[in-house]
Structure 1
Amino acid sequence: MKNTIWAFLAIILIAACSSGPSANEMMVSGNVKGLKKGVLYLQHIQDTALATLDSLVIEGNGQFSFTVPVESPEVFYLYLKKEDHNEVNDRIVFFGEPGTVTIDTKWNTFDINPTISGSTTHEKFAEYQDVLSKFNKKDLELFRAKMNPEILRDSVLVDSMDALLNRNALRSVLYSLNFALNNKDSYIAPYVALYEVPDAKKIYLDSIYNNLSAEVAASKYGLGLKKLLDTKTE
């Protein structure tokens, strides 16, 4: 009888450990290939400041797993503190959501093309970031061209380069606004409005907010966008 009870308890324990995250939890797991020693931190923005939700000391094995409560999809950061004392390129940005999110990467190229799966919101986030990076790349190219000594000596050419820079910036803003409008059912929409184009005219941000589904409007970024709109006058 005693052995039967212990076997029953063992089955319950195994089932509990393998059941995965609950409806309001996110499990972030994966592997940092080649990592032998370091500390992984799962972070997010809380009240405008970066806050650590959990951490894990890595020794000899790059596998990791975090489980944290998540009220609604939001941006998280997986930060790797390595023993090389170099904080450059050590933070992966991803859009997490309830469920299981898997992140696989390499220790020496930690934030360069990590494989992220399990989050439909992150797929939209990656799509948005991919196009936005092209605008940023174009902006850098134009700025470098403007700094050419031959161009700097010609005020007409400088004005022409400024016009190209302004046009690229405008196209970037319009892309962000349209992306948010066209993805009303995605949690990426209020995030883009709130963090990428917060200085846009109220009429545009108001259109994005009023276009959101009820569920998205009630999310962390939906409520944040509403708060921003309440402070805007035009």
Structure 2
Amino acid sequence: MKKITITLVTLITLISCGKTEKDLTVNGTIKGLKKGTVYLKKIEDTLLITVDSLVINGDSNFSLQSDLESPEIFFLDLDKHSAEQDRIKFFADKGVTEINTSLKNFVFDAKIKGSKQQEIYEEYLLMISKVNNKRLELIKEKFEAQRAGDSIALDSLVNLDNGLLRRRYLYTVNFALNHKDSEVAPYLALSEIYNAQLKFLDTINQTLTPDIKNSKYGKELEAFIKIIKETEK
């Protein structure tokens, strides 16, 4: 009996030692959450998949893990056992990312700390949000001009909107070129200006550093540009 016990303890120890730590750990707390399920998700082959999850029952702290080859976008989903579901988008790198937020304003209260890529991505989002907010104002003004039958005002607003759209594209291109040593650059090319002129995408791709070219989004951008070029032949 004693030999069996020793054998079992040895086996458990070996199994425990054989377990490897995941590349990415996402820790945090959701203030006010008493019950719900937190999911860590990412895009794989165009599908949003769950890589880890945790049922919350009284303790608002959470810890989730995932394998990670190179920095990429992840999502923190909260299912509050209701019809409503919230999702926080963030750029993760190997190591620990910390996300603290609240149940009441899950997305807007999120404070994300972890990767250098996230800091760069937030810098981009801050600037581009100003352009997006202005475009939303123009949409309202265009609707009012159309309803009033004011074609002159409508044409003027359409031109302003087109100008803002061009500004948004050019800012994104310049931001990517200025951050050629970050995985954020090819990600923005793929997610924000994928329908831009090929010359812009190609320029971004050509300026990426070797490490970034070899990253997940760097390889995807290269493949995407190749498809466009073959289609245009």
For the residues of structure 2 that align with 1:166 and 1:189, how far apart are their CA atoms? 24
Instruction: State the secondary structure of the residue aligned to 2:83.
Output: coil
The one-letter amino acid paired with 1:83 is H
Report what 1:82 is aligned to: 80
For the residues of structure 2 that align with 1:56 and 1:184, how far apart are their CA atoms? 36
For the residues of structure 2 that align with 1:165 and 1:231, how far apart are their CA atoms? 30
Report what 1:29 is aligned to: 27
Structure 1: tracts of 5 or more residues without a match: none
TM superposition shift of 1:147: 1.1
Report what 1:208 is aligned to: 204
- In the TM superposition, 1:90-169 aligns within 5 A as 90-149=86-145, 152-169=148-165
Deviations 1:78-107 (CA, angstroms, capped at 9, x unpaired) = 0000033212xx110000110100000011
TM superposition shift of 1:145: 0.8
- State TM-score, norm by structure 1: 0.87
Instruction: State the secondary structure of the residue aligned to 2:104.
Output: helix
For the residues of structure 2 that align with 1:154 and 1:210, how far apart are their CA atoms? 46
Q: Give percent identity, aligned residues only.
A: 42
Q: Is the 8 A contact 2:186 2:204 kept in 1?
A: yes
Q: Is the 8 A contact 1:30 1:63 kept in 2?
A: yes
Instruction: State the secondary structure of the residue aligned to 1:109.
Output: coil
Q: Does 1:218 align with 2:217?
A: no
Closer, same or farther: CA 211–149 of 1 in aligned 2, 3 Å:
closer
For the residues of structure 2 that align with 1:169 and 1:131, how far apart are their CA atoms? 14
TM superposition shift of 1:159: 0.6
Report what 1:43 is aligned to: 41
- State TM-score, norm by structure 2: 0.87
For the residues of structure 2 that align with 1:106 and 1:75, how far apart are their CA atoms? 21
Report what 2:189 is aligned to: 193
For the residues of structure 2 that align with 1:180 and 1:116, how far apart are their CA atoms? 22
TM superposition shift of 1:141: 0.1
TM superposition shift of 1:124: 0.5
Give the root-mean-square deviation of aligned CA atoms: 2.1
Instruction: State the secondary structure of the residue aligned to 2:182.
Output: coil
For the residues of structure 2 that align with 1:182 and 1:113, how far apart are their CA atoms? 29
For the residues of structure 2 that align with 1:80 and 1:166, how far apart are their CA atoms? 36
Instruction: State the secondary structure of the residue aligned to 2:62.
Output: strand
Q: Does 1:61 align with 2:59?
A: yes
Instruction: State the secondary structure of the residue aligned to 1:51.
Output: strand
Instruction: State the secondary structure of the residue aligned to 1:30.
Output: strand
TM superposition shift of 1:149: 4.8
For the residues of structure 1 that align with 2:216 and 2:145, how far apart are their CA atoms? 48
Q: Is the 8 A contact 2:145 2:153 kept in 1?
A: no
